[in-house]
A and B are shown apart, each in its own frame.
Chain A
Amino acid sequence: MLRIEARPEPSRRMLLATPFLAVLLTVVSGALLFALLGRDPLVSLHAFFVTPVSSLYGLGELGLKATPLILIGIGLAAGFRANVWNIGAEGQLVLGAVCGGGVALWFWEVDAPWVFPLMVVAAVAGGMAWAAIPAFLKTRLEVNEILVSLMLTYVAVLLLSALVYGPWKDPEGFNFPQSRMFGEAALMPPVVEGTRLHAGILVALAVALAAWLWQARTLSGFTLKVVGLAPAAARFAGFERRRTVWLTLLLGGGLAGLAGLFEVAGPIGQLVPQVSPGYGFTAIIVAFLGRLHPVGVVLAALLVALSYIGGETAQIEAGLPQAVTGVFQGMLLFFLLATDFLIRYRLRPVARRRGAEGR
């Protein structure tokens, strides 16, 4: 018999170990899933996890997909630490793409070095503005930020769709719902020959580094933890919860907006109805898997990016449906949440209790 026992102290070893345990369990379940779908599990796993990263191009794709996940994951993780549940990063990403892309389209014929910086400013501002709505409603009226930020995601997607089907449609685009291709000055060229990897990855890594420094070393970063763990203690310490709500939502929104811009100015190069395969939602998994820690987020983002590319490769090579990606991502988060139990509790074998008598 096993008995569940609370640990006197949360286990730091388990805190680091459970993400790996969760990945392992996901891979094992993945193999079972492949077998269930009638595929050879080893071949499928190979196609999913190894093939994509065995070429330079594949590695580039990995970095490309990790970029938005890192950016958004960093912002969300800061919020989650403070118990601010922004789950509308997908909408903030879309707004970033719309605002940044709007600038690119407006200055379509201008080839000047200030175009791109202006796009960045617009994208970040757009993401922030979208996140400011739940922040305002939460700090003023205690409206649940989960529902508001999520509803705004649907609104943002519809807004983008209205634009590319309507006023921003490419006049020479044979009536396809997409904008013009951006001008040279508005695009992010590859930084590594033979790949599509652009400078966004460097920005993402720099952001992660800065976030690490902020959270580990400054009073403002410390505030996040206290607000999240014990709101009354935060008030006692003079840390303002409202300020934290605003800070984390604006940060999350701004970074999501930037991620959106990097997608449209990088690999896509124009505005289309769907600018993201759900990075804003997947980044929630990234944030948790990365233990809400900036360095963890970078590692988790790389792993989850692999599941995106793996899904594509597996579709081409093993004929697996691409939806496998979503299942993998969901399982990963489930296993992580389940194994996190081991941080605060341990299982102890116990002998049957002596002196127990039935009647």
Chain B
Amino acid sequence: MDPIVATTVSVISAATPLLLAANGELVAEKAGVLNLGVEGMMLVGAVSGFAVTLITGSATLGILAAASAGALLALLFGLLTLGLMANQVATGLALTIFGVGVSSLVGAGFVGTPVERLPRLDIPGLSDLPVLGPLLFGHDALVYLSVAMVALTAWFLGRTRAGMILRACGENDEAAHALGYPVIAVRFAAVLFGGVMSGLAGAFLSLSYTPMWVEAMTAGRGWIALALVVFAAWRPWRLLIGAYLFGGVTILQLHAQGLGLFAVPSQVLSMLPYLATILVLTLIAAGSGRRRLDAPACLGRPFRPPA
């Protein structure tokens, strides 16, 4: 394979978990809920997907398990923040700490065991095309899903009545309630969707990106996904740009390490995705006075309907 094509394929691969997780978080935030537990939900998704795939031999079951595990943690988050009105920031942090602990407890027995990589969906003929074949076809199902979900989310939020109601709940919860919309139920659904997507993002890591389980293998990707939502100004299509940009940075530094391109320690190159996140957040903050308009107005605010 042409090296440029190969690199691009690996960029797509590196971007996919970010895209999945950020997409889920975007929907939750559009409904007005800030869930900082993405990292924890991803880890639990990663370990569940890995374990179930290994035990049952079925990647499909593994992916379903990952999605359910993510949703389960999101359910916990929803019960606390939406049911008991706990502080969303604190609960999100708790979710991450809990997710790290649970995943390493569950995964203790699986460390170092390999698993078969998710099958590529080869389309005979098309996948063999030069350049376009490997670029557009021949990825695994989660890669396609990640892009399809962006389109679906954009359509849902922008074009459907349900999407409009979801945005209304994030924009002004009291008004949405006064007009008779079930704010808490809508938010719950959005949080659960976020959990499913984070779970899938985790499954992609442990089943496709590096098909094995390593403790804390998300390495901050959940947090980068949170930053991507800010980067995208809460617009689904922009997530695509952000995720692929970050995928690019990740692959670039890996290649630079592999080739020994720069006379710096590999650790310094590994810092790049994190430094890039800070840089991007800074540039966005510096560049826009309209940012207040982009963020859902009720983001992170607890809401309890009067009895």
Task: Tell me the A residues contacting B by CB distance below 8 Å.
Answer: 3-5, 85, 87, 133, 137, 141-144, 146-148, 150-152, 154-155, 158-159, 161-162, 165-166, 281-282, 284-285, 288, 321, 323-331, 333-334, 337-338, 340-341, 344
Contact = CB atoms under 8 A, between A and B. Distances in A.
Given A87-B93, A281-B97, A337-B91, A147 B227 contact: yes
B265 A162 contact: yes
Contacts of B270: 158
Interface stretch (B54-62, B79-87, B158-166): B79-87
B275 interface: yes
Interface of B: 36, 76, 79-80, 84-87, 89-91, 93-95, 97-102, 104-105, 108, 219-220, 223-224, 226-227, 230, 265-268, 270-271, 274-275, 277-278, 281-282, 285-286, 291, 307
B274 A155 contact: yes
Nearest to B109: A321
B87 A337 contact: yes
Nearest to A166: B265
Given A85-B89, A162-B268, A330 B102 contact: yes
Given A152-B274, A158-B270, A147 B265 contact: no
Nearest to B99: A330
Given A85-B89, A166-B265, A321 B105 contact: yes
A289 B36 CA distance: 19
Contacts, number: 134
B275 A151 contact: yes
- A148, A285, A337: residue with the most chain B Cβ atoms closer than 10 Å: A337
Contact of B36 (A3, A146, A152, A154): A146
B265 A137 contact: no
- A5, A162, A329, A331: residue with the most chain B Cβ atoms closer than 10 Å: A162
B94 A330 contact: yes
- A3, A142, A159, A330: residue with the most chain B Cβ atoms closer than 10 Å: A330
A141 B282 contact: yes
A143 B101 contact: no
Contacts of A285: 94, 97
A89 B26 CA distance: 27
